[in-house]
Amino acid sequence: MILKDFELNNYLFSVDKQDVPPREQLEIERRVRREMAEIFYGGNLHKGLRI
């Protein structure tokens, strides 16, 4: 199952969401979503594919 909404703080280590700039928060969230999709589909996704 892929989570539609998730709490970014659950995926950060030794730092809170408030300590990370908004642009970097979006990049981290994009990478976490991509990783979840790769795990869900059982393989690597194309580089240009947006999740």
The predicted structure's pLDDT at residue 24? 95
DSSP state of 47: T
Task: For residue 19, give both structure tokens.
Answer: 């300590």
* C-beta of residue 51 within 8 angstroms of C-beta of residue 33: yes
* C-beta of residue 33 within 8 angstroms of C-beta of residue 25: no
Tens digit of each residue's pLDDT, the chain (51 residues) = 677 787 888 889 999 999 999 999 999 999 988 888 888 888 877 776 666
